[in-house]
Amino acid sequence: DVVWLKANAVQIEHIKPQVDIYHLPSGRAMILPADGRVINLSCTHGNPSLVMSNSFSNQILAQIELFTKQGQYSIGIHTLPKILNEEVALVHLDYLGVKLEKLTLIQSAYIDVHPDGPFKQKDYRY
């Protein structure tokens, strides 16, 4: 309870940016980072926007997959189909300044995948 902590502290010691020690009347002290806010977003720069975009895109595609294929998934934990995971990667390549080349039939046969993907074997885990 940050409000209580601030109201009852006998001394607040700022030890560095985003980190304070609240000294209480009992003699105990509490270190409070980020003024009680989410540390990931307050004390650091959080995750890069590209990471967040990839993560949220995967989550949305997973929700769409579950909604459009109701009854095809049992209750439990499932991996996102590789083709959807690769679709997310594909749409983010432009941000990275990368152009993806298409596999030739010889290349796809050599690595035993369809030329349009997914490009990893079934047992491969990202």
Q: In what order do the strands lie in the sheet with 29-33?
A: 11-16, 19-23, 29-33
33 and 63 assigned to the same domain: no
Which domain does 27 fall in, by range?
2-42
Local structure of 18: helix, strand or coil: coil
DSSP H/E element including 16 = strand 11-16
23 and 57 assigned to the same domain: no
Domain tally, the chain = 2
Local structure of 45: helix, strand or coil: coil
* pLDDT tens per residue across span 44-66: 666 777 888 999 999 999 999 99
24 and 53 assigned to the same domain: no
56 and 13 assigned to the same domain: no
* pLDDT tens per residue across span 99-108: 888 899 999 9
Q: Answer with the residue of higher pLDDT: 125 or 74.
A: 74
* pLDDT tens per residue across span 110-120: 998 889 888 88
71 and 25 assigned to the same domain: no
The whole-angstrom distance between residue 96's C-alpha and the CA centroid of its chain comes to 18
Which residues, other chains included, contact 100 with Cβ-Cβ below 8 Å and sequence gap of 6+?
90, 93
Stated pTM of the model: 0.56
Asked whether residue 24 is domain-assigned, the answer is yes
24 and 63 assigned to the same domain: no
Q: Answer with the residue of higher pLDDT: 40 or 85.
A: 85
DSSP H/E element including 107 = helix 105-111
65 and 12 assigned to the same domain: no
Asked whether residue 97 is domain-assigned, the answer is yes
37 and 53 assigned to the same domain: no
